[in-house]
């Protein structure tokens, strides 16, 4: 039986129930759990970045980032992870990720000059069941996880000057004028749900602390909202046209749905273990 994309996305709406179930499970075995692990690190946002790039970059050159002119780019993901050990070999993990994509550059073309930037924030919560193998100070972890993404609005902004040709003005075929432009485009965000396999390598340089690296790879279902708002303001120089088309405002629909295998996601982190020391670490 084929599961429709819209039906599957309902899984995203029950993420809170999964988290509640996770907490209840932890509470029910609280007397047995005496080992905790907390970690923080950085990584890429590969699982969903391809979908973001496919949807949130417009064809209009005012909003399209030209890589040859890029002056600043940042899309690192910052992760916080909590892990509960049921025993030396089975654990449950919850990861919170926060990434803010930011691109900025200066445009210096014949007909367009100014500063352009765009930004977008993405957060995710990934509960996972993990299986651990300890070899001396090295821990190898495999498992599977659910990934729940919340994609915030994409905002792009341009401020500068533009040379435009207003045809037919005053009986002339071509009239070139320079105008200042303040342009802001907002595209509504959306959500995504993934199922991943994961692999972690951890090395303990003491009984309580260590360093690790992780990789996850899986399948992603994505749905982004369908409204784009373009708000532009113009001021013309040396034309007497201060009231000629001073503003431009447009709302339009643009939908995006996708389901596909996503690129692998990598991260590195430092971890701290509390409670009873693992037998393999003594």
Chain segment 114-136, per-residue pLDDT in tens: 888 888 899 999 999 999 998 98
Measured CA to CA, the distance from residue 131 to residue 87 in angstroms comes to 10
Question: Can you give the pLDDT at residue 29?
Answer: 46
Which of the residue ranges 175-184, 197-206, 252-261, 268-277 has the most confident prediction, judged by mean pLDDT?
197-206
- Mean pLDDT, the chain, whole residue set: 77
Task: Tell which residue, 208, 225, 81, has the closest CA to residue 141.
Answer: 81
Checking if the pLDDT of 268 tops 90, the result is yes
Whether pTM exceeds 0.85: no
Helix, strand or coil for residue 278? Answer: coil
Mean pLDDT to the nearest integer, 1-21? 46
> pLDDT by residue (tens digit) across 65-106?
444 444 455 678 999 999 999 888 999 999 999 998 887 778
| CA dist 249 → 43, 141, 160, 228 (Å) | 38, 52, 18, 11
Higher pLDDT: 193 or 282? It is 193
Mean pLDDT to the nearest integer, 125-148? 94
The 3-class SS string of 147-161 reads EEEEECCEEEEEEEE
- Say whether domain 5-275 belongs to CATH 2.40.160.20: yes
Token pair listed for 55? 């949807």
Q: What percent of the chain has pLDDT over 90?
A: 33
Strands (E), 109-189: 112-135, 138-151, 154-165, 176-187
Question: Can you give the pLDDT at residue 97?
Answer: 95
Measured CA to CA, the distance from residue 249 to residue 229 in angstroms comes to 7
Checking if the pLDDT of 8 tops 50, the result is no
Give the lowest-confidence range in 47-61, 71-85, 261-275. Answer: 47-61
Domain ranges in the chain are 5-275
Question: Can you give the pLDDT at residue 3?
Answer: 42
């Amino acid at each position: 039986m084929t599961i429709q994309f819209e039906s599957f996305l309902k899984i995203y709406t029950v993420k809170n129930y999964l988290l509640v179930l996770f907490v209840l499970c932890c509470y029910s075995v609280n007397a047995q759990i005496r080992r905790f692990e907390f970690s923080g690190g950085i990584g890429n946002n590969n699982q969903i970045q391809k979908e973001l790039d496919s949807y949130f970059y417009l064809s209009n050159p005012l909003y399209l980032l030209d890589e040859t002119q890029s002056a600043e780019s940042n899309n690192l993901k910052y992760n916080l992870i909590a892990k509960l050990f049921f025993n030396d070999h089975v654990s449950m993990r919850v990861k919170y990720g926060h990434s803010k994509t930011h691109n900025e550059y200066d445009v210096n073309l014949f007909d367009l000059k100014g500063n352009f930037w765009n930004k977008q924030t993405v957060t995710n919560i990934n509960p996972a069941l993990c299986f651990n193998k300890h070899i001396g100070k090295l821990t190898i972890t495999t498992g599977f996880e659910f990934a729940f993404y919340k994609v915030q609005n994409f905002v792009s902004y341009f401020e500068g000057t533009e040379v435009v040709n207003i045809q037919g003005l005053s009986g002339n075929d071509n009239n070139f004028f320079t105008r200042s432009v303040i342009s802001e485009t907002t595209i509504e965000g959306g959500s995504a749900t993934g199922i991943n396999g994961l692999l972690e390598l951890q090395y303990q340089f003491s009984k309580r602390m260590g360093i690790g690296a992780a990789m996850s790879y899986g399948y992603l279902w994505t749905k982004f909202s369908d409204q784009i708002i373009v708000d532009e303001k113009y001021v013309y120089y040396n034309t007497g046209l201060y009231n000629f088309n001073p503003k431009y405002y447009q709302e339009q629909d643009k939908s995006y749905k996708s389901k596909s295998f996503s690129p692998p996601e990598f991260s590195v982190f430092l971890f701290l273990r509390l409670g009873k020391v693992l037998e393999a670490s003594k």
